[in-house]
Amino acid sequence: MLLEKLDSTDTRIILRLATGLDDIHQITEEGIELSSDSEARIHDLAEKRLNGTPMAYIMGEKEFYGLPFRVSGSVLIPRPDTETLVDTAIELAAGFPDPAILDLCTGSGAVGTAIAHTLSRAVALSDISADAIAIARENYRKNTGMEADARTGNLFDPWTGSHFDIIVSNPPYLTDNWYEETDKDVKAEPIGAFIGGGEDGLDIIREIIEKSPEYLSPNGCLVLECDYRQTEICGRLLATAGFSDIASRKDLAGRERVVYGRRNSK
């Protein structure tokens, strides 16, 4: 049986999805005869998992920052390390009396929604993918009770004339080689959410840093997630672009993950 090829966690989840039995009832009702529909469902889900479909896509949901987020093959699956990005943005937002916040490259809306939920205030969202924005709107509404100002377009294109106190972003930043080294679960996610362009993977981040001062209020902050191998370079890029108070934060694994700086008001 295909389930025998899966680890115990995946097996329990698939059994729950296919039969409706929770972990306790899977034990207490072991040996019960399953319907043909349940058996077919188990086979289908197990086959998808063995072929590399991430469990979050099979479940259709992923928890992030203590909140449930709908996910599909159109969006990146939120990672725990990205919670550092949320924490940093929330801390910086405390320095503004009425912060206007933008989540750029929002994907599923996880970062912006978590910030909005925690601060009980609106956060604007945008992404180049219309499919991602549809999911982000749904997640934002479900977790905040508000309707999102969510726009489709490349980076800052949807925000001409707008200004924000905090711009937060988890953009694509992997190099081609780093992406090739990832496992098959990662390769089941949208490739455009990973590869950042250029030999160092930082082409998209460079564009964000270069253009962001036009969209930041005086003393506004840009907060970026990147790979630990890129934080030093990102810090230099921020300094070259005229940012001050540049610093970085470590993720749950103790690796540098977030780089941020403040737009000079001069």
CATH code where residue 121 lies: 3.40.50.150
Domain assignment of residue 108, given as a range = 74-263
Q: 10 with 79, same domain?
A: no
pLDDT (mean) for 107-114: 98
Phi, psi of 103 (to 5 degrees): -100, 105
Is 65 part of any domain? no
Q: Is the pLDDT of residue 19 over 90?
A: no
Segment 86-109, tens digit of pLDDT: 999 999 999 999 999 999 999 999
Q: 34 with 87, same domain?
A: no
pLDDT (mean) for 207-234: 97
Lowest model confidence (mean pLDDT) among 13-27, 88-102, 125-139, 215-229: 13-27
pTM of this prediction?
0.90
Q: Is the pLDDT of residue 17 over 70?
A: yes
Q: 44 with 169, same domain?
A: no
Q: Is the pLDDT of residue 45 over 90?
A: no
More confident residue, 152 or 9: 152
> Is 223:196 a contact under the CB 8 Å cutoff?
no
pLDDT (mean) for 193-198: 97
Please work out, in degrees rounded to the nearest 5, the angle formed at the alpha carbon of residue 217 by the alpha carbons of 99 and 129: 75
The mean pLDDT of the chain is 92
Is 125 part of any domain? yes
Q: 238 with 142, same domain?
A: yes
Give the total number of structural domains in the chain: 2
Q: 178 with 240, same domain?
A: yes
Q: 251 with 119, same domain?
A: yes
More confident residue, 141 or 13: 141
Whole-number pLDDT of residue 206: 98
Whole-number pLDDT of residue 54: 93
Q: Is the pLDDT of residue 23 over 70?
A: no
Q: Is the pLDDT of residue 33 over 80?
A: no
Q: Is the pLDDT of residue 255 over 70?
A: yes
pLDDT (mean) for 51-59: 91
More confident residue, 197 or 52: 197
Q: Is the pLDDT of residue 29 over 70?
A: no
Q: 139 with 235, same domain?
A: yes
More confident residue, 159 or 266: 159
